[in-house]
Amino acid sequence: MKHTQWKLKPSKQHGQGMTEYIVIVALIAVAAIAVYQLFGATVRNQTAGMAMEVAGKNGSAAIAQAGTAAGKAVTNAKDTSKNTLDSYGNQVDNGKQ
C-alpha cells in the first residue's frame, strides 16, 4: 500500500463556531438586561421576596411591594405621554416605579 500523507489546509471556519457562540451569549445577555430594566422594581422585589423565603424569613412584604410596583408599571404603560422615544431610558423621571 502506498502511504498517503494528508495535508490539512487551514480552515477559515475554524473560529466561526466560537464567534457564533459569543454572539448568541451576548444577545442573551442584552435581552436579559433589557427585560430586567423593563420590569425593574417588580423583578427586584420578587427576587428579594423569593430570597427571603428561601432563607426561612417572611418575604410577604417584598412580594407586596412587587405587586405595588407591577400596578405602577401598568399605569405607566397606559400613559401615552411616557411611551415615546423621548422618554426611553429615562428611569429617573418617567420610568421610576
In sequence order, the 6+-apart residues with CB closer than 8 A to the CB of 23 are none
Write the burial class of residue 66 (CB in 10 Å: 0-12 exposed, 13-18 middle, 19+ buried).
buried
Contact 65, 47 (CB under 8 A): no
Q: Is residue 31 part of a domain?
A: no
- The pLDDT score that the predictor gives to residue 97 is 45
Which residue range is the domain that position 55 belongs to? 40-79
Q: Give residue-wise pLDDT tens across range 30-88.
A: 998 887 777 777 888 888 888 888 888 888 888 888 888 888 877 877 777 766 656 55
What is this structure's pTM? 0.45
- The pLDDT score that the predictor gives to residue 78 is 77
Strand segments, DSSP code E, in 3-86 are none
Q: Which is more confident, 17 or 29?
A: 29
| Residue 14 confidence class, pLDDT cut points 50, 70, 90 | low
Cell of 4: 498517503
Domains contained in the chain, number: 1
Q: Is residue 69 part of a domain?
A: yes
